[in-house]
Amino acid sequence: MATHFYTASSLDGFIATADHSLEWLLSQDFDQDGPMAYPAFVEGIGALAMGASTYEWLLRAQGEEPWPYTQPTWVFTHRELAVPSGADVRFVQGEVSDAHAAMRLAAGGDDIWVVGGGDLAGQFADAGLLDEVWIQFAPVTLGAGAPLFPRALEFELLDVARNRGFLCGHYRVVG
């Protein structure tokens, strides 16, 4: 059972623009059956964690579409946010270690996915609870935006692949 941060990034280390747009990413071509693609990754995931901005982006992006995850999702926020019908969403705040224990139980032996943002993934790393990081680097720079991983950490490169225009890295968090 491992905890992963799996995300796409610009080449200069941003996962969204400053106004939380992902147009720069969604306009790219990515082979969903290719190396390090999302469908194979998410098969092993039993619980999700995300911050409030990521959750709000998802709600906007889904519109009237149904909630995309069957797994329970922990949303870190200090606010009261809407929950789409049929979604298993649990709002939490404070130390990520408390939520992580509950996520482990709910995941039932499957892995945990920290969807984002980068600082939330960093909070899991600070607590020694982040095992692996997967980054798909899009052939784009943004100049500014939501940071990929605002921490000083070391990683071991486990695997690298090309998926269309993306450079994909799979890392183990060393410390």
Ligand X SMILES: NC(=O)c1ccc[n+]([C@@H]2O[C@H](COP(=O)([O-])OP(=O)(O)OC[C@H]3O[C@@H](n4cnc5c(N)ncnc54)[C@H](OP(=O)(O)O)[C@@H]3O)[C@@H](O)[C@H]2O)c1
Which residues, 6 or more positions from 168, have their beta carbon under 8 angstroms from its beta carbon?
A: 35, 36, 134, 135, 136, 137, 160, 161, 162
Question: Is 79 an interacting residue with respect to ligand X (CB under 6 A)?
Answer: yes
Among 93, 97, 105, 139, binds ligand X (CB under 6 A): 93
Question: Is 169 an interacting residue with respect to ligand X (CB under 6 A)?
Answer: no
Say how far apart CA 167 and CA 175 lie, in whole Å.
Answer: 23
* C-beta closer to ligand X: residue 46 or 145: 145
In the chain the beta strands, taken as DSSP E runs, fall at 3-9, 14-16, 45-51, 73-76, 89-92, 111-116, 132-137, 146-147, 155-163, 166-173
Contacts with ligand X, 114-153, as mask; x by CB under 6 A? -xxxxxx--x----------------------x-------
| Number of chain residues interacting with ligand X (CB under 6 A) | 28
Least distance to ligand X, CB of residue 13, Å: 11
Contact 167, 10 (CB under 8 A): no
Say how far apart CA 113 and CA 106 lie, in whole Å.
Answer: 13
Question: Is 163 an interacting residue with respect to ligand X (CB under 6 A)?
Answer: no
Among 71, 77, 83, 89, binds ligand X (CB under 6 A): 77
Compute φ and ψ for 135, nearest 5 degrees.
-130, 130
Among 5, 30, 57, 134, binds ligand X (CB under 6 A): 57
* Residues found near ligand X in the complex (CB under 6 A): 7-8, 15-16, 20, 22, 25, 50-54, 57, 76-79, 93-94, 96, 115-120, 123, 146
